[in-house]
Chain A
Amino acid sequence: MAYVAIKGGGQAIDGSKTVFDYLRAKQSAESSPLDLDTIQNQLRLLHGRVISEGGVYHPRLAALAVKQAHGDTLEAAFALRAYRSTMPRLAETEALDTSRMRITRRISSAFKDIPGGQMLGATTDYHLRLMRMELLNESPEQFRTIASEWFDGLNIDDIPDTFPKVLEGLRKEGLIPPLSSQVRDNAPFDITREPLVFPVPRSAALSTMARGEQGSLLAIAYSNMRGYGDVHPTVAELRVGYVPVMLPHPITGKPMEIGEVEMTECEIVAMYEDQEDGSKPVFSLGYGACFGHNEVKAISMAILDRSLQIGMTKGPSNPSEDPEFVLLHVDGIDSMGFCTHYKMPHYVTFQSDMDRLRTTRKKQDDGVQS
């Protein structure tokens, strides 16, 4: 009687918690728990992804979330997001100025050279994806040498604090729309305080995607890249680094730096369209940004920002241009929760389903006989 076993569930839940924890600890008698700094550093991309999808910049709790979720990004982001629900919104920051980003990596595929120069930084883009067998038995000494030797011969004074934005050049030439017309539309839509009721402003779309699930964003953006849409982006600039966060001083009201957040930002340029007002055509833009170092997510988001803008003005002609389709299906916490819920007992509704099927079958039998 399998269904009955589901009842009396209190003990089962406790048991399940214990065995889940056991699997984390069973490694060996001498093993020690993952420490949070290790997660934050050695699993930095996983950690960044959790911060980004969790939607709250709390590096230490994000590391804890990864630890307790045994490395499942959806679960970890979920724990972080639920923690966020307990926190009131105390203040609004000013719009962050990403031109002030302390860069760790910055590239443009639109130009061979850019003001400030291309900075490849830490990327796997040009790695050969061969198994690094030498890491199989990496000793602590070898491991520490990597960090200590890296600074040798590096002239830190040569590195500028900030880099100009690539788009600035195009804007000066008038090839892209002026800044005032597309950003700073006053108060941005706060998706944590207001439900999405369509049509939604672009700021709502951007913030939904900023904490969207990477795989979901990638899948829908990829559909556009392959042919269900035609954004054909050029990456004007992709930058990764630390952006200063400004808050008004509690007494003087003057903006002051309260810290910095690691972010990835991507600006894409797409082909021009005819201008409705008859003015000269300009390139169209797409914008993506998220917490942490996550280039696939930022690029996907930038492409979807562009496709959604097309859908918002001309009506969607494929899924990636449909704001409802994209924005209601990219949240990892929502989608994984609903997927998981199918594991819960559904025997009342199934009873009801059986009633319908049996009645329908009986009616067909009766019909054949009569």
Chain B
Amino acid sequence: MTTNKSFGFMDEYAKKEIRRSSLKAVAIPGYQVPYSSREMPMGRGFGTGGLQLTLSLIGEGETLKVIDQGADDSVNAVNLRSFIEMTCPGIHTTTSTTEAGVIQSRHRIPERPLREDQLIVLQVPYPDALVVVEASEDKRKILHGEADYSRLLVKLYEDIVKFDEITISHRYPTRIHGHYVIDPSPIPRWDVPKMHQSAALILLGAGREKKIYAVPPYTDAEPLAFEDVPFRVEDFTDENGQRRPCARCGCTTSFLDEYIDSSTGDYVYRCSDADWCNEQLMDESLLEVSNG
């Protein structure tokens, strides 16, 4: 029985198509480039779009980091990383954001600002920000072409009328380079400003919906908002107006995961970005060493 031997699982034609689609995506910032999207041996919705990008773009000797919800060791990240290691012999993997050349991520952009020599691949379930106001893809294409985002703005306005607050929590519609509005993938609002003028190339891949799009380096990425109702990220202040720190490293500037301590029943907050949290701890211990 034949077993697959080709680097990166897919056949060469498939990888070539994805590279060409990526180039087009970079050339037209925010435009969703349709591509044929092969079936991967993991579920549609588990990051097959991001995976196809990573497999097509990574090469021997390069270093990969895979995260899910900010963590390197969550089940899906482990699964993707071991599959990429298995099908791309000669690559290195790391949990360090600094060391990584290619970062594949679901739902987060690392806290540490990325560099020009880095590339981040985001996994995308819904590539089109307009899907909340228009179900037909055919009609959405026209709206995008005409940069007609009035219905999205009306939705934001209706939110304010009903709730005195924009209720979009994640997947916040973001205008790229003054034209196309993208779905930035289900990253929290916290991560949206990281896309603006990012030094690193941001590629977004939707496998099931068969689209690739990009936020090229040093490109404007502006979340939709109103002059008098600005865009706001998640709020981590407590009842007393104090910014909650991470219970593990003490950081007060990172996105926090919230959970309930099973013994005390209290809420506990910790950094969502596992590598960032470890780095903060490391810095503290170094500080102690140098002070001591």
In the complex, the answer to whether B234 meets A82 with C-beta atoms within 8 Å is no
- Provided the pairs A6-B75, A355-B234 are in contact, do residues A348 and B43 lie with their beta carbons within 8 angstroms? no
Question: Chain B contacts of A338 at CB under 8 A?
Answer: 43-45, 125, 208
Interface size of B in residues (CB-CB distance below 8 Å): 69
Q: Give Cα distance in the complex from A349 to B191, angstroms.
A: 11
In the complex, the answer to whether B258 meets A359 with C-beta atoms within 8 Å is no
Question: Chain B contacts of A4 at CB under 8 A?
Answer: 259
In the complex, the answer to whether B41 meets A79 with C-beta atoms within 8 Å is yes
- Provided the pairs A334-B208, A359-B165, A363-B163 are in contact, do residues A347 and B75 lie with their beta carbons within 8 angstroms? no
In the complex, the answer to whether A198 meets B138 with C-beta atoms within 8 Å is yes
- Provided the pairs A89-B13, A341-B46, A367-B164 are in contact, do residues A348 and B262 lie with their beta carbons within 8 angstroms? no
Q: Give Cα distance in the complex from A297 to B121, angstroms.
A: 38
Is there a chain A Cβ closer than 8 Å to B278's Cβ?
Answer: no
Q: Give Cα distance in the complex from A351 to B272, angstroms.
A: 10
In the complex, the answer to whether B76 meets A345 with C-beta atoms within 8 Å is yes
If over half of B's interface residues share one DSSP class (helix, strand or loop), that class is named, otherwise mixed; here it is loop
If over half of A's interface residues share one DSSP class (helix, strand or loop), that class is named, otherwise mixed; here it is helix
Question: Chain B contacts of A61 at CB under 8 A?
Answer: 1
Is there a chain A Cβ closer than 8 Å to B36's Cβ?
Answer: yes
Is there a chain B Cβ closer than 8 Å to A184's Cβ?
Answer: no
Q: Give Cα distance in the complex from A12 to B77, angstroms.
A: 13
Question: Chain A contacts of B78 at CB under 8 A?
Answer: 9-10, 13
Interface extent on A, as a size class? 35 or more
In the complex, the answer to whether A10 meets B73 with C-beta atoms within 8 Å is yes
Is there a chain A Cβ closer than 8 Å to B68's Cβ?
Answer: yes
Q: Can you name 16 A-B pairs with beta carbons within 8 Å?
A: A6-B75, A9-B75, A9-B78, A78-B43, A81-B39, A86-B6, A89-B13, A197-B34, A198-B138, A340-B46, A345-B74, A347-B257, A348-B69, A348-B170, A348-B186, A356-B165
Q: Which positions in A face B, CB cutoff 8 Å?
A: 1-4, 6-10, 12-13, 61, 78-79, 81-82, 84-89, 191-199, 324, 328, 333-334, 336-342, 344-349, 351-356, 359-360, 363-364, 367
Q: A9-B73, A351-B234 are in contact. List 20 more A-B contacts (CB 8 A).
A: A1-B262, A10-B73, A89-B13, A193-B36, A195-B35, A198-B138, A337-B44, A337-B45, A338-B43, A340-B43, A341-B125, A347-B257, A348-B257, A349-B170, A352-B169, A352-B170, A353-B169, A355-B169, A356-B165, A356-B168
